[in-house]
Structure 1
């Protein structure tokens, strides 16, 4: 590129007690008008990009767009007309840009640059505002710094991690590893065992996959990256038994799939199809197969769902189902009706927009909440099958029942079709953690710049502030990574870990880490960034 990427603006301590958000930041009329109306070409606009919170791929995308379409990418925010940022909290934003300067600029989210580049002109900045100005001082809440992610984030020291450990929480697992095709091969076998109820065998395959994902740069293979070419290499890794070693040997011998028989099986195809419908697990899928059902048409008849060609589109605004055991047939019927929408992957930009819309609604209910998008998004996936958001508030007593109130507000505003609400359950007598959560079908409002009418799965999880970071870790995943944190805590420390918190087993003493890094420190684990927690395929 013909320019150096700008460094962050020098840090200046904030004198404010607020970081509140809204859909419209303070934009001086003269500046805002000049950007949105007078400049009929994006080539006249000077940009500054706050690099915090962007992953490398997104940052590269934005720099390329700026280089191709904008007038100039500034090294200093003072010289820019528009500041692009993924930060939505004032307190964190002030770590990069002084608030007085921010109030003199148009501060927008990255979608503004994408849409403006597509339109060939600068779009109105107010439609893409990233921050809220201080128009409601009486409702501002001081957010403790421990509830905000560190900036910059902690680096992961790969050299300190242990490829030979049997615990995924001690190994670095990238999103895609040099042996990804082998991992996918083993995952078909894992799925087959899981669908047939062979849980121990399925877990063995899952562990083997996580080891292969985490051993990508081990000393066994020499210089990174290196592919597994023999079963001898795999035999030196933990958690890989003779059966899995034989599968690896057959695969590495000629690189031909050893799972063709499984994939061609009518039963496997039916079980896979049924379990792809949200709300249908392996047990229910096997029950449906035993009844002779084999296709989606069969399922629609069984559950009394109208054929796709005959039913009208589902109206906005559905039911709120109170449940601690799941939504049962109600959810399955909805999932069948919405299966075409729910099967469409959600790009990162839309994930971020869904989070922004939800947090704006939440801020109207209770100013001062903070949130983290978790799940595959946080682990670096370019697309997600659903969106998971963990949120909290500094005053836990003041906001009891906030998740339920948020669900009802979204319902009233027509943003979802159905919600299964799981209340706080301290007894933990189900497969869910004890946190208050809502599993919803959500649609972006028409006022959103990314509104497309597609129904999306959105899970909202409220965590009290003292267990916020354990909730973030648990819901970030991956499945095997968080499973092995639980196992490590039990085996090595006689402690119990889940999304609801950390307790000592012999006396139930609770521990409340104040940051995500402190969770790792408390559990005597080396820090692993979310991008390295992809221990599943």
Structure 2
């Protein structure tokens, strides 16, 4: 894919590149607010040339986030801009300009019509293992389209500039008040300024504008990037956290230790106070983008972790086992490697999972994906980790991961995890997040907007504002957190099959998927795929099953029933379809229900004494999914792997085959047509055998479900 930034330069021959050292006369950037470069997605040479251009035109370039008001980089969406600011510990509140009427004379008229953006509600009901949309499948809508144009951004004529520099600046970076304002802008703005020879309006190049509520302290410490860059120049053969040669290790430590003396002393952790917008993030000591304690540089942090154990790691390279083939080949997709449920590094992985949970609660999607990749890679590693060099060679892992490993190995804990566990706000968010039907965004809304701190607050002050799924989630909160043992999972599935057979015939198949199929001792809920060799037998089956199971009291509540697959004739949904607009990624018929065993030993006696006697059995969450036989292999495959396994399966299908995979079938991305790996009538065998056919059709080695535990 051609880089948008560079392609824009080649399309306009007369225009000069923003990284060009030759400029038109007249451009003066000295009066713009302090500007900082967002280095993400910028190559080193691109960043160097951009700095050169900014300095040539006297821009007040700074690397100190505590001073910068303008941020420039390859940032295209508000969400990315918010992440970049948050990762730099900037607490901000977005400023949205109010749109004015088209004519200043016309004062009365209909209100302006606002375009509505479709948002997916974040909830545990909408996201399941094996059916989450991945980053390469998310359709992003430009969030700048709804922004009103910045006032006074019409470029004045050259004659109006006079000699006052601030006259040129005001229309572009006009705060309009004494507030501390920041702007996040695209690289194209610099290109436009260079081409015009003077400041031009931000217009569509403005990605995000906000008021700053809190800035980080200014630190004059060296970054770990600078330390490693210096080491790389002298020892290019070693680019991992700990080099094999003792003098290289000592070089890193000496450089890191030199920073310790200039580092601001570590302050005690203070939970974030309630605020309206910008502080809805956990920005404590360790959950900023760099995972570092407040007031510490990465280098000083690494020194603290490594200085006590340098001698321990020296000379250990010979003891490191030979990496498996997937490590040597750099295989990045977890669907191409075997990942057992209980590997040799579960204790370290438990720490990383807690960090990922914290990233989820602060709405850091990029961080969640990164940690998911790291966790899946380490989980597949067949040996007990003993040296940080082992980690840096794993796909998706880097020096930061190795630093966490060294900290954990040396101290038995990770400070980031300790901070997360001790933070009161995070405890509350985790409680709300565990409510069935409540996602991270809703949990933050409960806490930061409504100031609720426990379940009693929700019941007392917000019960009527909850949807039905959330009300059930609160009502059975404690019960839903109790794991379901394997024998109970099997018993529930046997009941479902019994009634499905009554409705159809003995050829009905019920395949338990999810964590149970991966070999988990206990599951959070029960997922099962129901199918039948005759296509007409699966049409409408989910509704009939729910009705009969409700009548006999196995199902106490039906929270969601989806008949999408039946309504479209059980055909695979085309990749591009007007009728399919807005349809979810997995479009199989399904029902999400609350399950309870209607029998108990003293039932008859209890009901004789009290006709409203309460059933003492625990409530369970059960998902019943109906799959047509011709795509049952895709359904079983799509609901059996861990979350990262399924994400990578979709990425693999897209990258290597040009296909779009989901549990209701496979489609071509080029023409949208369905691809029948299982044949037009399905496989003549079991659903498990059909799944093997799908693996083969995708060009993948078959991986047993117990080796798909990517978490």
1:267 equivalent to 2:425? Answer: yes
1:528 equivalent to 2:703? Answer: yes
Specify whether residues 467 and 375 from structure 1 end up closer, same or farther in structure 2 by C-alpha distance, changes over 3 A only. Answer: same
The answer as to whether partners of 1:231 and 1:252 remain within 8 angstroms in 2 is no
Query: Equivalent residue of 1:162, what SS?
Result: helix
Query: Equivalent residue of 2:430, what SS?
Result: helix
Deviation at 1:431, TM superposition (A): 4.8
Specify whether residues 302 and 162 from structure 1 end up closer, same or farther in structure 2 by C-alpha distance, changes over 3 A only. Answer: farther
Residue 82 of structure 1: aligned partner: none
1:298 to 453, 457, 465: 457
RMSD: 2.4
Range with greater deviation from structure 2 (418-427 or 454-463): 418-427
Residue 392 of structure 1: aligned partner: 531
Range with greater deviation from structure 2 (523-532 or 249-258): 249-258
1:335 equivalent to 2:473? Answer: yes
The answer as to whether partners of 1:228 and 1:252 remain within 8 angstroms in 2 is no
Residue 509 of structure 2: aligned partner: 370
Higher relative contact order (CA 8 A, sep 6+): 1
Specify whether residues 161 and 235 from structure 1 end up closer, same or farther in structure 2 by C-alpha distance, changes over 3 A only. Answer: closer
The answer as to whether partners of 2:504 and 2:537 remain within 8 angstroms in 1 is no
The answer as to whether partners of 2:659 and 2:666 remain within 8 angstroms in 1 is yes
Range with greater deviation from structure 2 (329-338 or 510-519): 510-519
Deviation at 1:195, TM superposition (A): 1.0
Deviation at 1:493, TM superposition (A): 1.1
1:231 equivalent to 2:371? Answer: no
Residue 495 of structure 1: aligned partner: 659
Residues 44-88 of structure 1 deviation map (CA, whole Å, 9 limit, x = unaligned): xxxxxxxxxxxxxxxxxxxxxxxxxxxxxxxxxxxxxxxxxxxxx
1:361 equivalent to 2:529? Answer: no
Query: Equivalent residue of 2:667, what SS?
Result: strand
1:421 equivalent to 2:578? Answer: no
Residue 215 of structure 1: aligned partner: 381
Residues 294-342 of structure 1 deviation map (CA, whole Å, 9 limit, x = unaligned): 112112223438xxxxxxxxxxxxxxxxxxxxx9710111111112221
Residue 165 of structure 1: aligned partner: 331
The answer as to whether partners of 2:538 and 2:626 remain within 8 angstroms in 1 is no
1:442 equivalent to 2:592? Answer: no
Residue 467 of structure 1: aligned partner: 631
Deviation at 1:439, TM superposition (A): 0.2
Query: Equivalent residue of 1:476, what SS?
Result: coil
2:648 to 484, 499, 522: 484
Residue 345 of structure 1: aligned partner: 483
Give the structure-1-normalised TM-score.
0.62
Residues 278-299 of structure 1 deviation map (CA, whole Å, 9 limit, x = unaligned): 1000110111111211112112
Deviation at 1:231, TM superposition (A): 1.8
Specify whether residues 437 and 428 from structure 1 end up closer, same or farther in structure 2 by C-alpha distance, changes over 3 A only. Answer: farther
Alignment of 1:41-440 (within 5 A): 162-163=326-327, 164-216=330-382, 226-258=383-415, 259-290=417-448, 291-304=450-463, 329-367=467-505, 368-419=507-558, 420-424=560-564, 426=573, 427=580, 429=582, 431-440=584-593
Query: Equivalent residue of 1:278, what SS?
Result: coil
Residues 238-263 of structure 1 deviation map (CA, whole Å, 9 limit, x = unaligned): 11134333222322333223310111
Structure 1: runs of 5+ lacking an equivalent: 1-158, 217-225, 306-326
The answer as to whether partners of 2:555 and 2:593 remain within 8 angstroms in 1 is yes
Specify whether residues 435 and 162 from structure 1 end up closer, same or farther in structure 2 by C-alpha distance, changes over 3 A only. Answer: same
Deviation at 1:432, TM superposition (A): 4.8
Q: What number of residue pairs does the alignment pair up? A: 348
Specify whether residues 328 and 240 from structure 1 end up closer, same or farther in structure 2 by C-alpha distance, changes over 3 A only. Answer: farther
Query: Equivalent residue of 1:213, what SS?
Result: helix
Residues 434-456 of structure 1 deviation map (CA, whole Å, 9 limit, x = unaligned): 1010000011232899x971111
How many Å separate the matches in 2 of 1:524 and 1:209? 25
The answer as to whether partners of 2:510 and 2:529 remain within 8 angstroms in 1 is yes
How many Å separate the matches in 1 of 2:636 and 2:581? 18
How many Å separate the matches in 2 of 1:254 and 1:477? 33
Residues 368-406 of structure 1 deviation map (CA, whole Å, 9 limit, x = unaligned): 311100000000011111000101111122431111111
The answer as to whether partners of 1:424 and 1:436 remain within 8 angstroms in 2 is yes
Query: Equivalent residue of 2:622, what SS?
Result: strand
The answer as to whether partners of 1:369 and 1:392 remain within 8 angstroms in 2 is yes
How many Å separate the matches in 2 of 1:173 and 1:183? 13
How many Å separate the matches in 1 of 2:616 and 2:646? 34
